[in-house]
A and B are shown apart, each in its own frame.
Chain A
Amino acid sequence: MESVLSDLAEDRVTGALRLDEAGTVYLTDGRVTYAESPAVPRLEDLLTADDRIPAQAVRQARQAATEDRPGGERLVGQGVLTRGELEFCVLSAVLDAAYFLSGSAAHHRGFRPGDRHWLGPQWYFDVAGLSRECERRRAQLDRAWPSGELDTLPVVPLARIPAQRVVLTSLQWEVLVAADSTATPAELAHRLGRPAYSVLLAVRRLAAAGLLRVPEAGGRPGAAPAGTGTPAPAPQTPPAPQTSQTSQTPSAPPALPRRPKTTGEPRAGGEPREGAAGSAASARWLPAATGDPADVNLLIRLRNALEALT
């Protein structure tokens, strides 16, 4: 993509470069003035995310935009936002889209000369500067947490964290509040109306802080038996009281309430069985149910009672 853009920049063209599925890059006199990608929230969504800027005003500016008076001038003229805010919003949106476009292996699908974005040019990027900033952002992500595996997986905050106290940025807070264990970072970005790169960085920093479930390379096969194993004792508990209470000592009842508690917790917590902090977490659930001497005693009494029946 960069070589195509460099060629267009050299020719000082104005128009839109379409990339298959991935998006569009707009140039004005050989400099990039806008970029969009379905992987990132649209500028309209960024602008109107917090309700300060009415979606109606943005829609109207878009419809009324002409070549002489582009939508951006109209928005600033109406006092919907300041020039600096508009410039910064365009800057964020373009760099966000450029980051994901530069990472994708998209082929260009032709150049439409003269095509302009409705906002009009608000900020000019040279192609070299744009790719330098994308590189810098990539390096920054890797410094935060050197693995891309979380970038496309649902964000799952740990139900319990291995710390007493946590400091979050406001964006990290938004990510955690919106995370429903099914939405990926890109989906969260669309939902929150925040740049996808910013959300990605927040997610990687949350992971580095140990607040998110991280898939383990070899952890899944190991964690699965633990997961299927824990619910198993639960159905067995209801019959147990009936047989033991009728025949046995009062020491049995205090032992019983413990079991639903320990087996109930992993289910209430949601995910830990799929191996959060991995073997440590699943190991904490398993032996708690089986290693208790009261449980062992109960099982022995149960076996004895069953043997007596036959």
Chain B
Amino acid sequence: MLGIEDCVTEAMAIPGALDALLIDQTSGMAVAVGGGRDEDVDESAAALSETLRAAMDGLALNSPGGTIRINDMIVTADNGHHLLRPMETAFDGPLVIYVRLDPERSNLALARHRLRSISGRLVTT
């Protein structure tokens, strides 16, 4: 069972992790930050919320029935692998855990597995 800060600490312990953020998707707020970065955290959190929202909207339109439930989202880019995992909570949210990985030093499958384990211990749904 994890607290919010533990969750970011564990995400930073994933091999190759460069940044980690915990984001409240509804308000686009950075709830917790890992990786020692302080600047532009709010902007990153808002931008990542929008990224996830755009993916949800687009995929919902592309799905039979028009609904979507994303388990995790992986974007590989020049500056690293971006992993996003929305977690349903009982009250508000979703709460999104984000981690950026060094492509040279990381293993995507392992990182995805670890994120799933973290989210399973943070929320009980």
Residue of A whose beta carbon sits closest to that of B31: A91
Question: Does chain B have a CB within 8 A of A75?
Answer: no
Question: Does chain A have a CB within 8 A of B107?
Answer: no
- Let me know if B2 and A195 touch, CB within 8 A: no
A82-B122, A195-B92 known; A133+B4 contact, CB < 8 A: no
Question: Does chain A have a CB within 8 A of B123?
Answer: yes
A84-B4, A84-B7 known; A52+B123 contact, CB < 8 A: no
The stretch of B21-29, B73-81, B98-106 that contacts the partner chain: B21-29
- Let me know if A167 and B61 touch, CB within 8 A: yes
A84-B6, A87-B3 known; A137+B27 contact, CB < 8 A: yes
Main secondary structure of the interface of A (DSSP, over half): helix
A87 to B91, CA, bound (A): 12
Interface membership of chain A positions 71-90, coded 1 if the CB is closer than 8 angstroms to chain B and 0 otherwise: 00000100001111101110
A52-B125, A82-B123, A84-B3 known; A140+B91 contact, CB < 8 A: no
Interface size on B, residues (CB 8 A): 31
The stretch of A7-15, A43-51, A235-243, A284-292 that contacts the partner chain: A43-51
> A residues within 8 A CB of B24?
88, 91-92
Interface membership of chain A positions 147-171, coded 1 if the CB is closer than 8 angstroms to chain B and 0 otherwise: 0000000000000000001010101
Minimum C-beta distance from A178 to chain B (A): 16
> B residues within 8 A CB of A91?
4, 24, 31
A46-B92, A88-B89 known; A83+B1 contact, CB < 8 A: yes
Minimum C-beta distance from A87 to chain B (A): 5
- Let me know if A52 and B2 touch, CB within 8 A: no
- Let me know if A89 and B124 touch, CB within 8 A: no
- Let me know if B27 and A46 touch, CB within 8 A: no
- Let me know if B31 and A136 touch, CB within 8 A: no
- Let me know if A85 and B90 touch, CB within 8 A: yes
A84-B4, A88-B93 known; A167+B42 contact, CB < 8 A: no
Question: Does chain A have a CB within 8 A of B60?
Answer: yes
Point out the residue from B46, B91, B121 that lies within 8 Å of A82, measured CB to CB: B121
> A residues within 8 A CB of B124?
81-82, 85
> A residues within 8 A CB of B29?
95, 133, 136-137
Question: Does chain B have a CB within 8 A of A193?
Answer: yes
> A residues within 8 A CB of B4?
84, 87-88, 91, 123
Question: Does chain B have a CB within 8 A of A53?
Answer: yes
A91 to B95, CA, bound (A): 12
Q: Which of B1-56 contact A (CB under 8 A)?
A: 1-4, 6-7, 24, 26-29, 31, 42, 46, 53, 56
> B residues within 8 A CB of A52?
90, 125
Residue of B whose beta carbon sits closest to that of A136: B42
Question: Does chain B have a CB within 8 A of A201?
Answer: yes
A167 to B66, CA, bound (A): 8
Taking Cβ atoms with an 8 Å cutoff, the residues of B that contact A are 1-4, 6-7, 24, 26-29, 31, 42, 46, 53, 56-57, 60-61, 66, 89-93, 95, 121-125
- Which 5 A/B pairs are nearest by Cβ-Cβ distance? A84-B122, A83-B3, A46-B91, A82-B1, A92-B92
- Could you name 16 residue pairs across A and B whose Cβ atoms are closer than 8 Å? A46-B92, A76-B1, A81-B90, A83-B2, A83-B3, A85-B89, A88-B31, A88-B95, A89-B91, A91-B24, A92-B24, A140-B27, A167-B61, A169-B53, A194-B92, A195-B91
